[in-house]
Amino acid sequence: MTEQELADRAFKRDLLASLPNLRAFAVSLTGRHDKADDLVQDTIMKAWANQTSFTAGTNMRAWLFTILRNEFYSQMRKRGREVQDSDGLFSERFSVHPEQYGRLDLQDFRKALDKLPDDQREAIVLVGAAGFAYEEAAAICGCAVGTIKSRVSRARTRLQELLGVSGESDFGPDPGDAAITARAFGS
């Protein structure tokens, strides 16, 4: 196998490995699974076409997230932002298994997330869920690290307001919540 073939194979493998995370970011940005998957598809095509511009050994995930984000905003500028359907597809998708823990909670959370300004939403998702450091998130969004930090902080505050969280005990009636939180924090 030639060096080029090995590089191609590595590229495809890393691309595949990043897809679930990339797709979750797309769902976070668009608020809808169908739109998110179209966005991911466009991102894959762009990434594939620009393989040579990717520097092997650098962070492919950050590279893909940057492509997807740029694609999202450029499409949004072209089409104008469509009315978000927070109660639509996403909820349907997640209400299929109502017996599972926390699904209803997740819908409420999703709706609250949708209400954030775009810049705050992407900041808190990149740092708080997608696993990027502040510096990486700043590079993806093309802004200063301090800007990301303040957006994350404002997003947190806004989510707390939207979800009416004033303390852990107020957050959800599910007694399982407390146990899970306790486990998560080893307290």
Partner 1 sequence: MSEQDSRKKEKTMTTAQAKDFRPGATLPNAAISRKLRDFYDAVQEEGIPDRFLDLLERLEQAEKNAKSADVK
Q: Which residues bind partner 1 (CB under 8 A)?
A: 8, 12, 15-16, 19-21, 23-24, 27-28, 37, 40-41, 44-45, 48, 94, 102, 105-106, 109-110, 113, 124-125, 127-130, 156, 159-160, 163, 165-168, 171, 180-181, 184-186
Q: What is the 3-state secondary structure (H, E, C) of 65-88?
A: HHHHHHHHHHHHHHHCCCCCCCCC
Distance in angstroms (rounded) separating the CA atoms of residues 129 and 57? 23
Distance in angstroms (rounded) separating the CA atoms of residues 134 and 4? 33
Q: Which is nearer to partner 1, 17 or 77 (CB)?
A: 17
Give me the least distance between CB of 160 and partner 1, in Å please. 5
Give me the least distance between CB of 80 and partner 1, in Å please. 25
Give me the least distance between CB of 146 and partner 1, in Å please. 15
Q: Which is nearer to partner 1, 113 or 141 (CB)?
A: 113
Q: Which is nearer to partner 1, 34 or 82 (CB)?
A: 34
Give me the least distance between CB of 159 and partner 1, in Å please. 5
Q: Which is nearer to partner 1, 19 or 76 (CB)?
A: 19
Q: Which is nearer to partner 1, 80 or 186 (CB)?
A: 186
Give me the least distance between CB of 19 and partner 1, in Å please. 5
